[in-house]
């Protein structure tokens, strides 16, 4: 293990920062939440659980990949890099539909739900050039990326400039989050079948998700508009403490929501038992 760290690890002086602590704790909570979500998605066959599971997986992979790049360990697994482009496009629509079906559980899917998957397909296709590159090319690229993270949005392993993924993703997410808050605004508890606690939980989720989105958007704007400043922001963990904290907050929400599903599972079990023995 020591040899592995010595060979691939960089910025070791930053590993004990608050930003890294928040990120690692958030990743750990996300893993626990994802495992629980996968179990409940199978057990309940509920579209809301499926949506929040996809969101949790995509958010985890985004944070996990960045942590690998920041620490330099991505060089040990070059095949993992650039694999999440399509997944990242799923976060915003999953968040929107999760809120939609949580507030209005009787609604059906829109007429053309597959349209929301087009950016995901586009992202997967654009990841092909890197996937087809030789292992030597991948290692050479990552050797530069870990020391200059701007190359993560400026490399040429794609059919379009990588920065356009960031622009498109955040522009799309901005539209979805506005629509998401509109759902909360028009929702009327007087005519709703959900409880106040469920609505409150959805509002908390939207607040955390919106805050994280704004912080990520600001960082990407800085990355694309100011090369020297963006390089500093992307590579100094102290400057990323806030965004790591928001990821931890999102992970905490995901974990508590998974626990709420566990309580729901217990209630369903009690109801089934009572019905069988009634």
Domain limits, the chain: 2-276
Q: What is the DSSP letter of 15?
A: T
- pLDDT (0 to 100) of residue 111: 86
Q: Per the structure block, which two tokens stand in for 172?
A: 């799309």
The pLDDT mean for the chain works out to 83
Between the alpha carbon of residue 104 and those of residues 250, 261, 262, the distances in Å are: 23, 18, 22
**Tokens 């976060």, residue?**
91
* % helix, strand, coil for the chain, step of 5: 80, 0, 20
- pLDDT (0 to 100) of residue 276: 31
Dihedral (Cα; 67, 249, 38, 170), 10-degree rounding: -70
- pLDDT (0 to 100) of residue 258: 93
Nearest-angstrom CA–CA distance, 272 and 278 = 10
Strands (DSSP E) found in 114-168: none
Confidence of residue 278 (pLDDT cuts 50, 70, 90): very low
Confidence of residue 99 (pLDDT cuts 50, 70, 90): very high
Q: Per the structure block, which two tokens stand in for 17?
A: 């920062």
Confidence of residue 5 (pLDDT cuts 50, 70, 90): low
- pLDDT (0 to 100) of residue 212: 83
Instruction: Kindly state the average pLDDT of the residues 113-129.
Output: 90
Phi-psi bin for 72: left (phi > 0), alpha (psi -120 to 50), beta?
left
Confidence of residue 220 (pLDDT cuts 50, 70, 90): low
Q: Which residue has the higher pLDDT, 127 or 156?
A: 127
pLDDT at residue 97 is higher than 60: yes
pLDDT at residue 269 is higher than 60: no
Which range, of 30-34, 56-60, 222-226, averages the lowest pLDDT?
A: 222-226
Q: Which residue has the higher pLDDT, 38 or 217?
A: 38
Cβ-proximal residues to 146 (8 Å cutoff; 6+ apart), any chain: 10, 69, 70, 72, 74, 75
Between the alpha carbon of residue 5 and those of residues 1, 62, 65, 79, 88, the distances in Å are: 6, 22, 17, 19, 29
Percent of the chain with pLDDT over 70: 81
- Would you call 65 helix, strand, or coil by DSSP? helix
pLDDT at residue 229 is higher than 80: no
119: nearest Cα among 83, 74, 165:
165
Q: Per the structure block, which two tokens stand in for 6?
A: 């010595």
Confidence of residue 270 (pLDDT cuts 50, 70, 90): very low
pLDDT at residue 70 is higher than 50: yes
Q: Which residue has the higher pLDDT, 164 or 250?
A: 250
pLDDT at residue 56 is higher than 70: yes
Contact 247, 23 (CB under 8 A): yes
Flag whether the pTM goes above 0.75.
Answer: yes
Strands (DSSP E) found in the chain: none
CATH 1.20.1070 fits 2-276, yes or no: yes
158: nearest Cα among 177, 178, 170, 141:
141
- pLDDT (0 to 100) of residue 156: 78
Instruction: Kindly state the average pLDDT of the residues 115-139.
Output: 90
Instruction: Kindly state the average pLDDT of the residues 174-185.
Output: 94
**Rounded to 5°, angle at Cα 27 from 169 and 42:** 80
pLDDT at residue 273 is higher than 70: no
Q: Which residue has the higher pLDDT, 40 or 227?
A: 40
Instruction: Kindly state the average pLDDT of the residues 189-212.
Output: 89
256: nearest Cα among 41, 52, 95, 44:
52
């Amino acid at each position: 293990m020591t040899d592995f760290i010595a060979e691939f690890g960089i910025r070791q002086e930053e590993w004990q920062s608050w930003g890294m602590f928040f990120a690692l704790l958030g990743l750990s909570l996300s893993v626990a939440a994802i495992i629980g979500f996968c179990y409940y998605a199978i057990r309940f066959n509920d579209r809301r659980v499926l949506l929040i599971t996809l969101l949790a997986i995509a958010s985890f992979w985004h944070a996990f990949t960045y942590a690998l790049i920041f620490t330099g360990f991505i060089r040990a697994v070059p095949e993992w890099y650039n694999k999440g482009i399509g997944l990242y496009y799923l976060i915003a629509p999953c968040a929107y539909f999760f809120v939609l079906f949580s507030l209005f559980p009787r609604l059906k899917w829109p007429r053309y739900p597959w349209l929301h998957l087009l950016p995901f397909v586009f992202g997967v296709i654009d990841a092909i050039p890197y996937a087809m590159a030789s292992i030597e090319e991948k290692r050479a690229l990552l050797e530069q990326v870990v020391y200059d993270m701007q190359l993560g949005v400026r490399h040429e392993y794609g059919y379009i400039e990588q920065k356009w993924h960031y622009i498109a993703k955040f522009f799309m997410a901005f539209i979805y989050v506005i629509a998401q808050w509109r759902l909360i605004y028009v929702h009327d508890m007087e005519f709703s079948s959900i409880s106040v606690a469920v609505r409150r939980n959805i509002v908390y989720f939207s607040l955390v998700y919106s805050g994280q989105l704004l912080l990520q958007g600001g960082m990407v704007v800085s990355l694309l508009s100011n090369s020297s400043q963006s390089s500093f922001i992307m590579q100094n963990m102290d400057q990323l403490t806030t965004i790591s904290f928001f990821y931890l907050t999102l992970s905490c929400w995901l974990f508590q929501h998974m626990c709420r599903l566990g309580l729901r599972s217990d209630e369903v079990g009690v109801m089934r038992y009572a019905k069988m023995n009634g």
